[in-house]
Amino acid sequence: MKKILLAAIIVLGYSNAFAQSEQEKINRDVWYNFMQAYQDLNASLFNHIHTDDVLRIPMDQNQILVGREYKDSNLNMFNQWNEYKFKQRIQFSFSNRIQKGEWAYETGIYKLTRYSGLSMEHLYGKFNVTLKKVNGIWKIYMDADTSEGVSINESDFQKAKILQ
């Protein structure tokens, strides 16, 4: 009986360690690069963290952008940000993080901070993404978010698990 219990503990510990390492890999492959791209206004890095057939669903605009269409829109957006010399930072807090094999689904709240002179503005929204492992690298396969019709503030952001 003790051997069975010990074996079960080892298996559970191994599966938890595996899940944790995959979550850390997702953080490295996707989220830290996402934050860096927004801070550095780097469209190439931002597009790199998405699959070639990415689905982008900006729910507030009631539309779907697919693949190259979305990546081209990113290039335009980042070019404008660079032109206006935006200073910004994006952060994420997660409500759910589920991973199985080469797929993951994550939901949470983003906090976008924009700096203008001596002032700063915080914008919040809810997001949900589906991630796919492509050639050993996690990428965003589907990204949907909304900030309209939702009342989100710093307290909500702090309640979830903030990515450090």
pLDDT at 77: 94
Residue 49 main-chain phi, psi, to 5 deg: -85, 5
Question: Where in the chain are the domains?
Answer: 2-162
Query: CA-to-CA distance for 73 and 148, rounded, in angstroms?
Result: 21
Give the closest residue to 103 by CA, choosing from 127, 83, 129, 81.
129
pLDDT at 13: 47
Q: Token pair for residue 119?
A: 């002032």
Q: Beta partners for 108?
A: 94, 127
**Alpha-helical regions (H) of the chain:** 2-26, 32-40, 43-48, 68-83, 154-159
Query: CA-to-CA distance for 78 and 86, rounded, in angstroms?
Result: 9
Q: What is the pLDDT along the chain (164 residues), one digit of tens a residue?
A: 555 544 444 444 444 444 569 999 999 999 999 999 999 999 999 999 999 999 999 999 999 999 999 999 999 999 999 998 889 999 999 999 999 999 999 999 999 999 988 889 999 999 999 999 999 999 999 999 998 756 888 888 888 888 98
pLDDT at 80: 94
Q: With a threshold of 0.75, does the pTM exceed it?
A: yes
pLDDT at 4: 54
Query: Which of 3.10.150.10, 3.30.300.210, 3.10.450.50, 3.20.20.70 is the CATH number of 2-162?
Result: 3.10.450.50
Q: Give yes or no for a contact between 47 and 37, defined as CB atoms under 8 angstroms apart.
A: no
pLDDT at 11: 44
Residue 33 main-chain phi, psi, to 5 deg: -70, -35
